[in-house]
Amino acid sequence: MALIQCPVCGKRISSKAKQCAHCSTGVDGDMHSRMRIAHIQKTQRLMNQSFVAMTLFIAGVVIWFWGGEAAEGIRVQAGALCFSLGFIGYLITRVQIVLHKRKSI
């Protein structure tokens, strides 16, 4: 008997169980392919998230250096905000992606 992860609630359940003991999701033959799909969807979501963060980061740089000169006033704040949000968001998403990819399915 092996333990597998429920595709819906993510808790560990027996691979022989007919349904998840935690959320009562039916677990049948295509359980593995459903888990695969859930895994791929999560990867996809994380990739989108990192793309958004990257865009924000670049937007911050562009706002800051628009016109070839250092920003002043409100542009400094807007640029710095986008820049740091994008940077932190990107780092967090990258860590999530690495952790997610390490998980076996």
Binding site for Zn ion (CB under 5 A): 6, 8-9, 20, 22-23, 25
Residue given tokens 């392919």 in the structure block: 33
User: How many helices (H) and strands (E) are present in the chain, helices listed first?
Assistant: 2, 2
- Closest CB to Zn ion among 9 and 88? 9
Shortest spacing between CB 2 and Zn ion, in angstroms: 16
As to burial, measured by CB atoms within 10 angstroms (0-12 exposed, 13-18 middle, 19+ buried), residue 79 is buried
- Closest CB to Zn ion among 21 and 78? 21
Shortest spacing between CB 69 and Zn ion, in angstroms: 56
